[in-house]
Structures are given as C-alpha cells and as structure tokens.
Structure 1
Amino acid sequence: MLQQTTKIGQWLKLSNLFKTLPIILLIIAVFNSYFIVIEGHVGVVKRFGEAKDQQNPGLHFKIPFIETVEMIEVRTRKNAEKMASSTKEQMPVTIEVSVNWTVNKEAALDLFKRYGGLTQFEQRILDPRFRSATKDTIPQFEAEQLIQDRASAIQGIERRLAEEMAGFPVIVDNIQIENIILPQKYINSIEIKQTEKNLAAAEEHKLERQRLEALRAVNTADAKAKGILKVAEAEAQSILLKGMAEAQAIEAKAKALKNNPLIVKLTEAQAWDGKLPTTMMGEGVMPIMDIRQIEESK
C-alpha cells in the first residue's frame, strides 16, 4: 500500500513537470529570440555555425536555438609589441611599439568568415606583419637618431605596415614608439658626450661674452677718442675763426688808417696818458732839456 502511494506521487510530479515544461521552453525561446548589439560593435548572425549576415547596434531578432550571434568590435583597438632588434651600427636594442587599428564596419562579416574573429586576425595577420615592419625599419637608423628623431622611424614603420596590410578589411594608423631600451654602456657614453657638449657650449658662451665685453670696451674707447677729436677740431676751428676775424679787423683798420690820416691822430689821442715827453729830438739833433725839472730843482 505504501509503495503504491509513493508511485502515485511520482506520477503526479511527472505529470506536473510535463505540464510546466512547455511553458518553461516557451519562456526560454522568447528570451532567446532577440539580441542587442551595443554601440561600437556589429553582430554577426550564425546559423548552425555558418555566418549569414551582420547587424548594426540596436535590438534584433533571431531564430531561437538555431541562430547565435558573435559580436565584432569596430572601435579603435590597440596592439602593443616588445621586440628585440638592432640599429644601423649593429647595436642591440629593445623596442616597445604600439599600433591602433580599426575594423572596417562594412567588412566585419567578411573578416569573421575569413579569419574567425578579431583575436584570430590579430594573431595570424596583424601582429606578424607589425613585427616584420618594425624589425625591417629600425636597422635603417642609428641609435642616436632613434633617440632624437623617433618621428622618422615611426613614419618608416607606418609606410611598411601600410604596404603589408593593403587589401585587408582594417584601417591601421597612429603607430607609436613607446620606449627604446639601449645597452647601458651606450647610455653612459651618451651622457658623457652630452656633458662635454654642455661644457663646450658653456665655454663658447664665456668666450662670446668676453668678445662682446672687449668689443664694448673698444667701442667706448673709440667713442671717447672721437669725442676728444671733435672737441679738438672745434677748438681748432674756433682759433682759426678768431684768427681770421682778427686778421680781417687789422686789415680793415689798416685800410681805414690809409684812407683817413686823422684816425691816426685820434688813436694817438686816445692812447695819450696826459703827460708830455721828457726828451725830444729836433731836426738838428739838438737835445731839448726839460725845463720843468730845472724849475723844480730851484
């Protein structure tokens, strides 16, 4: 009796399960009948594993349990590589480089069919060609040039990689040399060389300053000499003008005396001090005594 009761209970449970199973399957089918593609991606719809079409961002529907969706990112992705190479002078160098690349949105389905997804494309196509382009370009530059002019090396890698990636459904751009690791001996020699350059520049600056100071002193002395010369020339010119003026005055006075004898008398009168001469010589060379002195003696 107890066993029969147990069997009846099991049959009831199975009956209830069979009744609820379609409802559960329906709910699962409803939730499995749509998918959402987020921005920056496209959805590749696969039917029994075969890629059929691609869908843009938004809400879409698919056949439950038959179709699945693979998301392909179409935003810019970044790949970084650290690789060993050598410079033009055969110096070993380790280069850290990176590249940005973007899947062509319209060609996402073709990329998935040919390569199976982004990871496979990176591993099979992009990374080997990126390493090859970098290793082919770096040996064209000397170590010092790599340090001072990374832009030229980057342009060389970009040109080579563009040639390698032509025909693939991706856009490759913005290659960067993140780091250049050189041997420590070379770095020490660069530091010594730079120190010597700095010392030479400082010495050159000092010599230039001394030259400017000497030139300034010469200019100052030259200016003073020119000033003294100008003063001397001015004094000489003044003396010359004074002499010419005096000569012209004498000449004018002589002409005046010649033309008017009375001026001589006037000049003598102006120069007379009011005293009579004490001695005079006559025509017969007879001395004339000064009577005033005789009278004073009496």
Structure 2
Amino acid sequence: MEAGTGTNTNQGPKRSNVSLSKLVGIAVTVVVLLIVGMNSFAQVEYGHVGLYKTFGKLNDNILSPGMHLKIPFIQTVIQVNTQVTKTETDTTASSKDLQPVSTHVAVNYSVNKESAYNLMNNIGGSFDTVIINPAVQEIVKEVTARYQAEDLIAKRDTVAGEISDHLTSRLAKYDLIVNEINIVNFKFSEAFNQSIEAKQVAQQQALKASNDLKRIEIEAKQKIAQAQAEAESLKLKKQEVTPELVQLKQIEVQEKALDKWDGKLPQVTGGATPFIDLQSLTNQQK
C-alpha cells in the first residue's frame, strides 16, 4: 500500500512538467512564426519605389508602392523617393567685373523611377550632397562669371534659365530630373550696394528733373495757347465793332437818358453828361 501510494505521488509532477514544456514550445513556435511572418513582407510607400537588397547586393527589380514579399532576415527593401524634392545651395563667385557675389540657389529635382537602380547602385542615397550640390556650385560660378554684377540683378530670369539648362544636362547623366531652379538671392559687397543705391538716387533725381521740365514746358504752352485764344477773341470783337454799331449804341444811350429826363434843363452840366440831340430824337419819334 505504501509503495503504491508513493508511485502515484511521483507521477503527478512529471505529467505537469511535460504539459508545461509543451505549452512553452508551442508559444515559442508561435512567436517565431509571427516574427518570420512579419519579416516576410515589406511595404513601399506612396511616392517611392523599392529595391531588394540581399546580403548587401541590390537587385535591379523595381518595386512599385504597396506590399511585397521578401526573404526574412536575408532580404531588405530600400525605398527611393521619386517625388519632387528641394535642395538649397550657397555659392560664392565673382562677376565679369570682378564683383564678389554670393548666390543662394534652390533646385527642385526628382529621381527617374526606371533608373532608380542605377542611381542607388552607382552613387547611393546621398546623391544630393555627392552630385547635385557640387554641380550647382560649379555651374553657378561658371554662369556668374559671364555677367556684369548689375546685369545679374537686371537679367535674373535669364541667368536662372542658363543655370537650369546647364544643370539639367549635367544631372541627366545620373538619371536625375531638374524640375525647376530658383535664384533665391544675390548678395553683393557693401560697397557695391552703396554704389547701386547712389546710382538709383541719381536716376530718380534726373527723372524728377525731367518730369519738372516737361511740366513747365506744358504749362508754358498752355499759357501761350490761352493768350493766343484771348488775342483771337479780342480781334474778333474788334471786327464786330462797326460805325453803324457805334451809332446804334449812342442812340440807345440817348433814349435811356430821355426816358429819365423830367423836362427841366440842368443848371450845370459836366463833361460826363451825354449830349442829347433833342431835334433828332423828336424827328425819330414822329
């Protein structure tokens, strides 16, 4: 009885240990499968393309945006941004008249999707600092040296277009597309800025003087025209004065004086009193 009881007591812990080991094994298996499953997929984001990288070697198969299978722990998927991206570069150069010029240039570029493998395999992900910025600096220096300092300001769009043409040709060798280039700022020496400001002030003063002279000339012409008009008017008025008109005016004055006369002759007459021909007036009334 004691022996039987002892045997049953020892078998209970063994069965419990076996069951626990199985549960642990199942749990580990599930975790491993989950890890393997999660590492069997890779997602390429919108606006990017993907490239398989197996043991450090790139595959030329271009992956479009979305989910893709991969070999767990062996393959990775690197993503290449194909959207329009901006890079900014500062360049110091000299103009044709040897004025120091600092130029801040912004370049909008994008990666050719079909050529992403060549770009990443030959240059790598830091192609903006390896290829684009040095190219911008070299081309800006070359173009700036062809223009006078003042022309760089006056012909800003032309300068930007020339830089864009050269940069487009240069970056096409590396499958990079130049979408747009902008000259954000030209910065010159303080002495040059002062000379430009003085020149502008002189031009404004000369323009003001020219405008004043034109205004004076116009006013003088207006006065001459007015005087001529007045003279012509006076001339026409003189032409209208005839002997008959003078006689008629005299008669009108005499008639008005007669209407006001009370029939009494003035005791004293002055030089200002008009002479009234009573006989002629009487004859006219008859």
TM-score with structure 2 setting the length: 0.73
SS in 1 for 2:173: coil
Shift in Å at residue 179 of structure 1?
1.3
Of the three residues 27, 33, 36, the one matched with 1:29 is 36
Residue 169 (structure 1) aligns with = 175
Partner of 1:73: 81
Q: Distance in 1 between matches of 2:101 and 2:233?
A: 68
**1:109 aligned residue (98, 112, 117):** 117
Q: Is 1:154 aligned to 2:154, yes or no?
A: no
Partner SS, residue 96 of structure 2: coil
SS of residue paired to 2:216: helix
Measured against aligned partners, the alpha-carbon deviations of 1:218-243 in whole angstroms (never above 9, x if no partner) come to 0101111222223334446998xxxx
Output the CA distance in 2 between the equivalents of 1:237 and 1:20: 139
Which sections of structure 1, spanning at least 5 residues, go unmatched? 1-7, 240-298
Structure 2 unpaired stretches of 5+: 1-13, 246-286
Contact 1:158/1:173, CA 8 A, preserved across alignment: no
Aligned residue for 1:186? 192
- The CA distance in 1 between the partners of 2:164 and 2:210, in whole Å, is 41
Larger Rg: 1
Query: Identity rate of aligned residues, in percent?
Result: 30
Instruction: String of CA shifts for 1:157-201, please: whole Å, max 9, x gaps.
Output: 112212322333121131111111111111111111111111121
The equivalent position to 2:107 in structure 1, one of 63, 84, 99, is 99
In structure 1, the partner of 2:65 is: 57
SS across alignment from 2:97: coil
TM-score between both structures, scaled by the size of structure 1: 0.70
Higher relative contact order (CA 8 A, sep 6+): 2
Partner amino acid, structure 1, of 2:51: V
CA distance in 2, matches of 1:113, 1:141: 39
Equivalent pairs counted in the alignment come to 230
Report the secondary structure of 2:172's partner residue.
Answer: coil
Q: Does 1:126 align with 2:138?
A: no
**Residues 1:28 and 1:205: Cα distance change in structure 2 (over 3 Å):** same
Question: Aligned-pair distance for 1:18?
Answer: 5.2
Counterpart residue identity of residue 64, structure 2:
N
Describe the SS at the equivalent of 1:51.
strand
Aligned with residue 145 of structure 1, among 142, 151, 155: 151
Runs of 4+ aligned residues of structure 1 deviating over 6 Å after TM superposition are 10-16, 236-239
RMSD: 2.7
